[in-house]
Amino acid sequence: MSHSFYKKYHLAINRFIDNALTEDIEMGDHSGQACFDNQLEKSTILKVKEDCIIAGIDLAEKIFKRFDHLIKLTRNFEDGESLTKGTVAYTVEGPAKSLLSSERLVLNCMQRMSGIASFTHQLNQKIKHTNCKILDTRKTTPGFRYPEKWAVSIGGGYNHRMGLFDAIMIKDNHVDFCGGMQNTLLKIKDYLERSQLKIDVVVEVRNQIEIEAVMEFPWVKRILLDNMEPGQIQEKVSWINNSFETEASGNINENNLIQYAETGVDFLSIGALTHSAKNIDLSLKAL
């Protein structure tokens, strides 16, 4: 799964790496230039300092190689594996100057990604007795969206959409600004036909009237039931009766997750996956 994510989004991820390296290094790492000559070779290990689902090994290798092709990463584990405190995830060797210049970016990414993957895995385990799938949202760190969503997929979750460009999602403000659900969806239909676009359309609804309006447009991919209690979700899902995919969102957390998943809804979208996961403590240590 980790490799397929990179394959799909490699242009954006490479752009992220370049921007992040520029942000941290700019015209050069003066500390490294002062301490090391170009010929000095060293090795380091990535040590896990708390139990976690490891994430970001693939990205770490891309960062090291993009910064200096002489750096070699030898992995002991793959993204998505469950590691315990004290485990060495990989060894990396190469020019000392290059290792230390790229070290912080690698750690920042892997600590954040491992936290997100671990939290996503934890929530998935709670609802594994259901067919419900967990989705992320656009509540991501600006500039760091791709690694964060990559981590969700490593943890067993699913990406809702990458941004505003790869799906249409109609929310309450769209409906209110357009003067109602039917008028909004007629505009969407016209736009898709004129643009010759074939992308998913997800529509957020607030009540039964809006659900009935959406169901007049069978090309809609999914009905999103927003800010409803589990009992209401179960009632609406039963009424929709598999005519459309269904999703629940709004105030869903690890305490009420099971209740929502057991309603029969197909998806739960949870912003906390990317905005509230705790970083995992990792370190790169010299051998």
> What HEC string does the chain produce?
CHHHHHHHHHHHHHHHHHHHHHHHHCCCCHHHHHHCCCCCEEEEEEEECCCEECCCHHHHHHHHHHHCCCCEEEECCCCCCEECCCCEEEEEEEEHHHHHHHHHHHHHHHHHHHHHHHHHHHHHHHCCCCCCEEECCCCCCCCCHHHHHHHHHHCCCECCCCCCCCCEEECHHHHHHHCCHHHHHHHHHHHHHHHCCCCCEEEEECCHHHHHHHCCCCCCCEEEEECCCHHHHHHHHHHHCCCCEEEEECCCCCCCHHHHHCCCCCEEECCHHHHCCCCCCEEEEEC
Average pLDDT score over the chain:
96
Residues 139 and 207 both lie in one domain: yes
Residues 97 and 131 both lie in one domain: no
Residues 178 and 265 both lie in one domain: yes
Residues 114 and 131 both lie in one domain: no
Residues 193 and 253 both lie in one domain: yes
pLDDT of residue 38: 87
Rounded to two decimals, what is the model's pTM?
A: 0.96
User: How many domains are contained in the chain?
Assistant: 2
Residues 90 and 149 both lie in one domain: no
Q: 283 pLDDT exceeds 90? A: yes
Residues 263 and 203 both lie in one domain: yes
* pLDDT tens-digit series, residues 38-70: 889 999 999 999 999 999 999 999 999 999 999
Residues 179 and 248 both lie in one domain: yes
CATH number at residue 236: 3.20.20.70
* pLDDT tens-digit series, residues 134-190: 999 999 999 999 999 999 999 999 999 999 999 999 999 999 999 999 999 999 999
The parent domain of residue 109 ranges over 2-120+278-286
Residues 104 and 218 both lie in one domain: no
pLDDT of residue 1: 58
Residues 174 and 112 both lie in one domain: no
Residues 87 and 135 both lie in one domain: no
Active site residues: 104, 139, 171, 204, 226
